[in-house]
A = this chain, B = another copy of it.
């Protein structure tokens, strides 16, 4: 985390030009946003994933419109879902046990 902070402090420290800008205040905490899907959105994506694991651009857009999510988010979900399935070939159909929301197909 905070790689920017890191290497900023260990260089020559030539940062006294006009400054009085102490290092401690510097970097912005970027905070990566993370979307969490509703069960409805998951339903739509999962259902589609079964019939097409690699949707093309316009299908992606269609799914985006259906779910209200951005095309990029949908795309990333499909990427992760493919990777997930590849890593874990066991459950490619229905999860065996019914623990509450295993969010997996």
A interface with B by C-beta (< 8 Å): 36, 38, 53-54, 56-58, 98-101
Contact = CB atoms under 8 A, between A and B. Distances in A.
- The majority secondary structure among interface residues of chain A is loop
A45 to B, nearest CB: 17
How many copies of this chain does one complex carry? 2
Contacts of A100: 53-54
B54 A99 contact: yes
Contact of A36 (B38, B53, B57, B98): B57
Nearest to A97: B56
Contacts of A54: 98-101
Contact of A38 (B58, B98, B99, B101): B58
